[in-house]
Structure 1
Amino acid sequence: MMPYLLSLGAGVLVGVIYALLGVRSPAPPTIALIGLLGMLVGEQAVPVVKRLLAGQPVLAFIQNDCARHILGPQAGNPPDSAPGDRV
């Protein structure tokens, strides 16, 4: 039940932001896609900051895990191969 309430709350927040910006919902495709990209990038900000605070390597995480999450499975190195390996 909690994920549904969180999703509803996020939707209400986005609706308020759209109203303040004067954008009608559903948003025009370009605005909606940029918003979705912002959501994907924002999702990755928390793990990146946690890694920075823990002193863990961040660049490889961004290049592989974050890139795959944002751009899809074709981005970054496959998890079980080294750079330069060909399948």
Structure 2
Amino acid sequence: MKPYLISLAVGLLVGIIYSLLGVRSPAPPAIALIGLLGMLVGEQVVPIAKRLASGQEMAVFLRKDCAEHILGRPIDQPRDDA
């Protein structure tokens, strides 16, 4: 959680600096970011449907693979395949 808060804090600081300098952020508008989130979630629909159809375990898959794909791997957590 700490890396996400640091990222948010740095983003806020940069936004304040941009505002003081009177320039607009090159970042896409919020609607584009929501679209990107939809793409990340949508990529998981087919793997979830395949697992449901084959009767495989869902909880671990959702917690580990889907969450890591959508939210990113926590910085302080080593990968299993490393």
Shorter-chain-normalised TM-score: which range?
A: 0.5 to 0.7
Q: Structure 1 residues 58 and 70, CA, compared in 2 at 3 Å: closer, same or farther?
A: same
Relative contact order higher in (CA < 8 Å, ≥ 6 apart): 2
Q: Which runs of 5+ in 2 are unaligned?
A: 1-27
TM-score by length of 2: 0.57
Q: Give the % identical residues.
A: 63
Q: Figure out how many residues of one structure are paired with residues of the other and give that number.
A: 52
Residue 44 of structure 1 and its aligned partner are, at CA, apart by 0.4
Question: 2:58: which partner in 1?
Answer: 58
Residue 66 of structure 1 and its aligned partner are, at CA, apart by 0.4
Q: Which runs of 5+ in 1 are unaligned?
A: 1-27, 81-87
State the Cα RMSD in Å.
2.0
Runs of 4+ in structure 1 off by over 2 angstroms are: 77-80
